[in-house]
Chains A and B, each alone.
Chain A
Amino acid sequence: MPRRAIWTILPMAVILAFAAAPRLTSQTASPKAVDDIKIEKWNSAPVAKAEYEGVKSAPAPRRDLSGIWDATGEGYDHPPRGIGTSGADEHRAVPRGRGYTSGGEPDERNIANPLPYTPLGEATLESHKPTGIGVRSVPTALGNDPVEICDPPGFPRLELHEFRAFEITQASDQVIVMYEFFRTWRSIWTDGRELPKNPEPRWTGYSVGKWVDDYTFVVDTVGMSDKTWLDNAGRPHSGEMKVEEQFHRLDHDHMELTLTIDDPKMYKEPWLALNKFPLRLQPRGFDIREQYCSPSDLAEYNKEIGDPILAPHK
């Protein structure tokens, strides 16, 4: 290279290096990966959706769902979708175009996306008195929601109501899902076994799973106790219900969950309770809070608020 050319290029290179420097500094200040996002070490709060901006997700690992995930990343300004205050996300029990209702209606005919109830389904729904924010909601102490008296929510309510942070671990023969709500877990067997025939009912049923491709894990569950409700709006199910979950990992930090209810006794056709519901991976070290229902705490709440609020008007 002629000497003159070096004297032309060198100053330009120095200028370019200085121009690039501030950009490099600002890049190191923002999180590069989900694990760089700062969280509290104990009782960690879920990372809000906005904090993922600037994070470049790595590609999804092959056949791996393990990690701590969260279903409430939209933040707390609105009820996060995972909490399911008004029932299953795809069929919220609120009137068309509205997020709120004062309740007290006899049925769900005015909601945005009604469910295909059979006559038995309709009658069973009528016997359920929910207390969340829904068209059929009743005052708290007049409700008969089993979760309100600390019965286990069971499955699939664990993914349709108070669905917050949860952990997935994988072993060679099972995938274990551990939920914040009621600190409960499910085993999803991947050892090739078949679902049980005429099983003894269980709160969380019996689950088997398989990978349909490297990033999609499909779970079938049967044998759920019909003592549970499907969601916070009192949607019923029979002991013959089948539930399909499809966990689809989009990349390292994002996963979608689609959940289908198939219960011909209660519904004329299968329906989607969650449709590509967004789940976000939490930073390493995320410490999941506990969220129990304690009968003694509930008794104190009812003594102080639940019962007196129903007393006749002063």
Chain B
Amino acid sequence: MRTRLVTISLLIAGCLAASVPLLAHHGNASYDTGKTVTVKGTVTAFIWANPHVFLKVDAKDEGGNTQHWVIEAENVVTQAGKGWSNSTFKPGDEVSVEITPAKNGQPIGRFRGRIVINGQEFKTS
């Protein structure tokens, strides 16, 4: 039973890892696609522009220091097709987002999963 559970979990993880990059315009050479990190903090800016829409979030690390995260999505047209708009995030919003982190340890990520804005889950269509 345990083996089966592990297998199922690995399968799910595998599907997630395989499906996320398909949404990307760019390759993933700079991202650690095997990892998911949850960034919780306050939005400082939301840039609705090409080549990629991106979100800036101030979040505290384990030591209590503020980290300036930058999290990218796809281009404007693709994000609009997923139900996003230029007002999806606003400065001051409290957010929790699942991201794929940069390989080099910089506070840079790419949207990959759950997005919560001011306590409300935001569903990407």
A interface residues with partner B (beta carbon < 8 Å): 43, 45-46, 72, 75-76, 78-79, 83, 85, 99-100, 102-104, 131-134, 137-140, 148, 164, 180, 289, 291-294, 297-298, 300-301, 304-305, 308-314
Distance to closest chain B CB from A183 (angstroms):
12
From B50, B54, B70, residue with most partner A Cβ within 10 Å: B50
CB closest residue in chain B, given A104? B29
Picked from A99, A294, A308, the residue with its CB within 8 Å of the CB of B22 is A99
Interface size class of B (residues with CB under 8 A): 35 or more
A300 engages B47 (CB within 8 Å): yes
CB closest residue in chain A, given B110? A305
From A75, A180, A308, residue with most partner B Cβ within 10 Å: A308
Picked from B33, B51, B105, B108, the residue with its CB within 8 Å of the CB of A293 is B51
Known contacts A133-B24, A293-B50, A311-B106: does B82 contact A76 (CB below 8 Å)?
Answer: yes
A43 engages B104 (CB within 8 Å): no
Flag whether B12 is at the interface (Cβ < 8 A). no
> Which stretch from B3-11, B73-81, B89-97 is at the chain A interface?
B73-81
**Overall SS of chain A's interface:** loop
A297 engages B50 (CB within 8 Å): yes
Residues of A within 8 A of B108 (CB): 305, 308-309
Q: Encode B18-39 as 1/0 by CB contact (under 8 A) with A.
A: 1001111111111001000000
Q: Encode B47-68 as 1/0 by CB contact (under 8 A) with A.
A: 1011110101000000000000
A301 engages B52 (CB within 8 Å): yes
Flag whether B40 is at the interface (Cβ < 8 A). no
A–B complex contacts, Cβ < 8 Å, 15 sampled? A83-B25, A100-B21, A103-B27, A139-B29, A140-B26, A140-B27, A291-B76, A294-B49, A297-B47, A298-B51, A300-B49, A304-B47, A308-B108, A309-B30, A314-B104
Distance to closest chain B CB from A65 (angstroms):
23
A314 engages B106 (CB within 8 Å): yes
A304 engages B56 (CB within 8 Å): yes
B interface residues with partner A (beta carbon < 8 Å): 18, 21-30, 33, 47, 49-52, 54, 56, 70, 72, 75-78, 80-82, 102-106, 108, 125
Known contacts A133-B27, A164-B77, A289-B77: does B49 contact A301 (CB below 8 Å)?
Answer: yes
B105 engages A313 (CB within 8 Å): yes
Residues of B within 8 A of A305 (CB): 52, 54, 70, 72, 108
A148 engages B51 (CB within 8 Å): yes
B77 engages A314 (CB within 8 Å): no
**Given A76-B125, A79-B22; 8 other pairs, CB 8 A cutoff:** A131-B27, A133-B26, A164-B77, A291-B76, A292-B50, A297-B51, A304-B47, A305-B72
CB closest residue in chain A, given B105? A314
A297, B72: Cα distance in complex, Å: 14
A78, B18: Cα distance in complex, Å: 12
A138 engages B104 (CB within 8 Å): no
B106 engages A132 (CB within 8 Å): no
